[in-house]
Amino acid sequence: MPSGTDVVLKAFILQYRLHCSQIERKNIHFTGLETSTLMYEEACRINHQLTGNNQIDFKLYDGMNIPFPDNSFNKVFTVNTLYF
């Protein structure tokens, strides 16, 4: 990643649609994690322009173990992930 790039991780990627212009205008590399194969495939389909230029990537995971080494991201967020 270029110096000054925000490396962002988000769990459960399809709770909202990514807006290409918001990512492209900023120095961001976004990685989304998803437990659902269907949601993973949909995120890849919707955001194919950004996956093609390596600004964004999506990964399937087991929901328990984040498949990246420590210190891989400088920002992490999730929305509506914990329910009562």
Q: pLDDT digit of tens for each residue in the chain (84 aa)?
A: 556 666 666 665 554 455 555 666 677 788 888 888 988 888 888 888 777 777 788 889 998 898 999 998 888 877 666 665
Whether residue 47 contacts residue 19, with contact meaning beta carbons closer than 8 Å, is answered with no
Listed residue (12, 1, 64, 8) closest to 34, CA to CA: 12
Whether residue 34 contacts residue 13, with contact meaning beta carbons closer than 8 Å, is answered with yes
Listed residue (37, 31, 42) closest to 66, CA to CA: 31
Whether residue 31 contacts residue 73, with contact meaning beta carbons closer than 8 Å, is answered with yes
pTM across the whole model: 0.69
Whether residue 16 contacts residue 22, with contact meaning beta carbons closer than 8 Å, is answered with no
